[in-house]
Chain A
């Protein structure tokens, strides 16, 4: 049982490049979400999904796209990377009102 798996763990991008952060969970959780962690700001919600085919914006969605074609996968796409998107990104999944389970995070640097 792997839980929530994020790839890659580290990434360096040039400004303007695009990329996809992968997230997969094997717990059959209905809810999945993406957060970014910045110093002094805690974790902030980027996008959220309540099930396959259903996504919604969080607090800081600009510059990011998501889709959820299966229960297991919830990729986060950076359309045109900017230095302001330098951050640590976390994917999480949850079932009902239980705790959220987090992946190990991706440290992204945009130069």
Chain B
């Protein structure tokens, strides 16, 4: 069975600073995807970034980047130049890349990020 762990329930960062959210996972499979989802107070789940396990290059999306360490089973999210709109709950999620597992996500517990002015 796969598990995802986020060990930081809450974090805060000053506006314009950089913050890193941690995520570790456990799996015996070799082919999978990892995601970071953002959930602002509106409750909407928004995809921030996605990483394919077979790719060695870390994914980036504007101010968001990941540090994917496959051997260590670690998948951290770095937010650069933090903005007030980044205040949200962030979830790390895992999905197997095998037949009929599309959209079947395993989530971590979440990290509540507060960006302070």
Residue numbers of A with Cβ under 8 A of B are: 29-33, 35, 40-45, 48, 50, 58, 88, 90, 92-100, 102, 104-105
Contacts and interface: CB of A to CB of B under 8 A. Distances in A.
A97 B97 contact: yes
Contacts of A90: 45
A98 B109 contact: no
B45 A97 contact: no
B1 to A, nearest CB: 9
Give the interface size bracket for B toward A.
20 to 34
A contact patch SS: strand
A43 B4 CA distance: 11
B34 to A, nearest CB: 12
B33 A45 contact: no
Interface stretch (B61-69, B72-80, B99-107): B99-107
A93 B42 CA distance: 19
